[in-house]
Structure 1
Amino acid sequence: MDGKVFVRDGRRIVCFERYLKHPVEKVWEAITRPDQLAQWLTVKSELDLNVDGQLVLRWDNGDEVTGKFTKVEAPYELEYTWLESSSGNSVVRWMLKEEGDGCMLQLMHTFPESVAVIDFLSGWYVHLDVLDTVLHERFTGFPDGRVKEMRKRYASMMS
């Protein structure tokens, strides 16, 4: 459930694995449809869900991520570049695998080694919690305070 950080080939990789009690197809829609992303990740997104297709993710605070899809293998694997002013260029990879009554989700976010990853660990942790809540149709609002809690927790674990 907790995110882990690996260093490989001069890059840092933030990795999460979560079991979600939902079919792969339902989780795929949640990570690839703008109306679904608006519920758990970002307020607005534009996606051309094809290899070399562009993506733009926008948040209420003005933050924006741009990128392009490098792998689209519905409904099991999705990869795209992630470019933002605060962390530079990185890569996000989603893998979904049927397991039991649901699926195993693996998220890997790969950065240059110089990027501080605590914000991404805490952010992805909470966003994945919210994703599960949205999939269960129990979402009531984004828990901003939880991100701050997780940031403190990861900072203490990494020091």
Structure 2
Amino acid sequence: MNDLGTVTLTGTHAILTFERRLAFPIDRVWTAITDPDERGAWLGTTHHEWRQRIVEDSVVRYELTADGDATLLTFTHTGLSERNALGFAPGTHAFLDRLRAHLDAGSLPNWGERYAPAYPAWRDAS
């Protein structure tokens, strides 16, 4: 499992993928992702159906699989250009770190402090 995620090219599009093993049952992880108050705690105020001029139509998927008493989260963002996939990678990494901290009931890491060390790996990949 690569904590920094992977970008896979598929012709003209890219797939951004992250896998995280979370030490909580599926229902607890699902609630943290789907409940607006819980999601807001780690992701901030957001609406998952938006249009931006700089981002092509794409799909974000959270797949949860039982892994013993834990959950394997597979996050995919499909339909992106390579540039946008590489650009979103460090920020997604930071948000998933915040999700883990939220589930652990710990203090949330500063998004920028989690983004900064991940950014060079993706900047250099572009």
TM-score normalised by the chain length of structure 2:
0.86
* Unaligned stretches of 5+ residues in structure 1: 46-55, 58-64, 67-82
1:20 aligns with 2:22: yes
CA RMSD of aligned residues (A): 1.9
Alpha-carbon distance in structure 2 between the residues aligned to 1:134 and 1:112: 28
AA aligned to 2:67 is E
Q: 1:125 to 1:112 in 2, by over 3 A?
A: closer
Residues 97, 114 of structure 2: 8 Å contact kept: no
Q: 1:25 to 1:116 in 2, by over 3 A?
A: same
Q: CA deviation at 1:141?
A: 5.0
Alpha-carbon distance in structure 1 between the residues aligned to 2:31 and 2:99: 11
1:99 aligns with 2:51: no
1:39 aligns with 2:7: no
Q: CA deviation at 1:87?
A: 1.6
Counterpart position of 1:155: 123
Residues 118, 151 of structure 1: 8 Å contact kept: no
Percentage of pairs with the same residue: 28
TM-score normalised by the chain length of structure 1:
0.70
The higher-RCO structure (CA 8 Å, 6+ apart) is 2
Q: Going by fraction, where is strand more abundant, 1 or 2?
A: 1
Q: CA deviation at 1:119?
A: 2.5
SS at match of 2:57: strand
Q: Going by fraction, where is helix more abundant, 1 or 2?
A: 2
Residues 4, 18 of structure 2: 8 Å contact kept: yes
AA aligned to 2:56 is G
Alignment of 1:54-93 (within 5 A): 56-57=47-48, 66=50, 83-93=51-61
How many corresponding residue pairs? 124
Residues 94, 106 of structure 1: 8 Å contact kept: yes
Residues 5, 15 of structure 1: 8 Å contact kept: yes
Residues 90, 110 of structure 1: 8 Å contact kept: yes
